[in-house]
Amino acid sequence: MTEAAIPVVLALNALDPAGMTGLLADTQTLAVHGCHVTGVATAYLEADSEQVFEAEAADAEQVDARIRSILEDMPVAAMSIAGLARAETVSVLAEILSDYPDLPLVLAPVLLAEEEEHEDDLLGALTDLLLPRSDLLIVSPFVARHLVQEEESAPLDLEARLTRWSSQLASLGAEDLLITGEQAATREVIHHLYHAGKLVRRDSWPRPPERIRGSDDLLAAALTAQIAHGTPLEEAVYQAGHYARYALEAAYRPGMGACTPWRLPAPPEGESAPAD
C-alpha cells in the first residue's frame, strides 16, 4: 500500500446536527473536491433546518489537543476556520498557528458568541490574532462591517462600503479578502476578491429565489479545497464560485425549513450544472 496523493484538509467549524452548515456540511464539500477531511468542532449548535437556537463553545483545551493530534500525524495541506463562539478558542488557534507558520489558513469567521456581551471580546481576538495570520479572509458584508466596527447605517452605497472595508481589513492584516454576496441585499449574487485593498476579481450570477442556508460555508470549504490542491488564488475563487453557483441552483429542502446547497458531485435528476 502506498501513500495517497490526496491533500489533507483540517476543517474547524461548529457542529450543526441538521447538517445545514458547519462541520458536517464542510465534510461533504471537501470530500467532493477530492480532499481527505479531518475536522474539529469549535462549537455545538442546537439547530434545525430553519435556524440556530443556541450555540455552546467547545472546551478550548480539548480543541487544542484535538487539532494538535492531527497536525502532528498528518501533512495538512490547508486549514479552514469558521464557527467561533469564544475568544478563548481564538487564542488557542492563534497559538497553534504560530507553531505552524507555513500552514495555509482560510479564515471564514461565523460569529457564534454565546452571550451578546462576549461578542466584543470575540471580535477583538479575531482581528488581533487571526486576521494577520490568514492567507484568505472570507466574509459576508455583515461580518465585514462588524470586523471594522462600523455602525449599521452609512451614507455610501454597498460597492463604496465594500471598497472601504477592504482597505480597512487589509490594514488589519487581511491582504487577500473575499467578500461574498449570498447574504447581501442585491438582485444578483456578487463576490468581490481584493488584494491589499484593491479589487482584483468580481463574479456574479442570478440569485436563487429560495432561502438557502449554508451558502457561505459551502464557498469557504470549496475554496479551502482548491487551495489545498495548490490552485492559484484567482483561479481558486473562480472554480469555487462556479461550484457554488451550481450547488445553489440545485438546492433542495431536507426538512420543513430552509433549503441547503446540493453539495454532491452530480446534480439531482432534471438539473444540470450552470454554463460558464
**Could you give the CA distance from residue 144 to residue 225 in angstroms, rounded to a whole number?**
23
Weakest mean pLDDT among 18-22, 116-120, 169-173: 116-120
Work out the angle at residue 22's Cα, subtended by the Cα atoms of residues 246 and 254, and round it to the nearest 5 degrees. Answer: 60
**Predicted pLDDT at 155:** 56
Per residue in 204-219, pLDDT tens? 888 888 889 999 999 9
pLDDT at 76 over 60: yes
**Predicted pLDDT at 211:** 87
**Could you give the CA distance from residue 20 to residue 50 in angstroms, rounded to a whole number?**
9
Per residue in 136-179, pLDDT tens? 999 999 899 999 988 765 556 888 889 999 999 999 999 999 99
Per residue in 24-47, pLDDT tens? 999 999 999 999 999 999 999 999
Rounded to 5 degrees, what are φ and ψ at 23? -65, -40
pLDDT at 262 over 60: yes
**Predicted pLDDT at 209:** 80
Band of residue 267 on the pLDDT scale cut at 50, 70, 90:
low
Query: What are the distances in angstroms from CA 217 to CA 42, 83, 94, 223?
Result: 14, 9, 21, 10
Q: What percentage of the chain exceeds 70 in pLDDT?
A: 90
- Across the chain, mean pLDDT equals 91
65 or 249, which is more confident?
A: 65
pLDDT at 183 over 70: no
Stretch 3-25: mean pLDDT: 93
Per residue in 77-117, pLDDT tens? 999 999 999 999 999 999 999 999 999 999 999 999 866 77
Work out the angle at residue 137's Cα, subtended by the Cα atoms of residues 136 and 139, and round it to the nearest 5 degrees. Answer: 145
Name the one residue in this structure whose C-alpha cell is 462588524. 146
* Helix/strand/coil (H/E/C) assignment for every residue in 169-203: HHHCCCCEEEECCCCCCCCEEEEEEEECCEEEEEE
- Positive or negative: CA dihedral 41, 165, 136, 123: negative
163 or 273, which is more confident?
A: 163
Name the one residue in this structure whose C-alpha cell is 446540493. 262
**Predicted pLDDT at 244:** 92
**Predicted pLDDT at 272:** 52
pTM of the model: 0.92
196 in Cβ contact with 186 (< 8 Å): no
**Which residue ranges form the domains of the chain, and what is each CATH number?**
8-249 (3.40.1190.20)
235 or 159, which is more confident?
A: 235
**Could you give the CA distance from residue 132 to residue 172 in angstroms, rounded to a whole number?**
6
Band of residue 2 on the pLDDT scale cut at 50, 70, 90:
low
Work out the angle at residue 176's Cα, subtended by the Cα atoms of residues 173 and 178, and round it to the nearest 5 degrees. Answer: 120
**Predicted pLDDT at 4:** 61
- Look at residues 191, 150, 182 and name the one whose alpha carbon lies nearest to residue 168: 150
Weakest mean pLDDT among 54-68, 95-109, 139-153, 262-276: 262-276
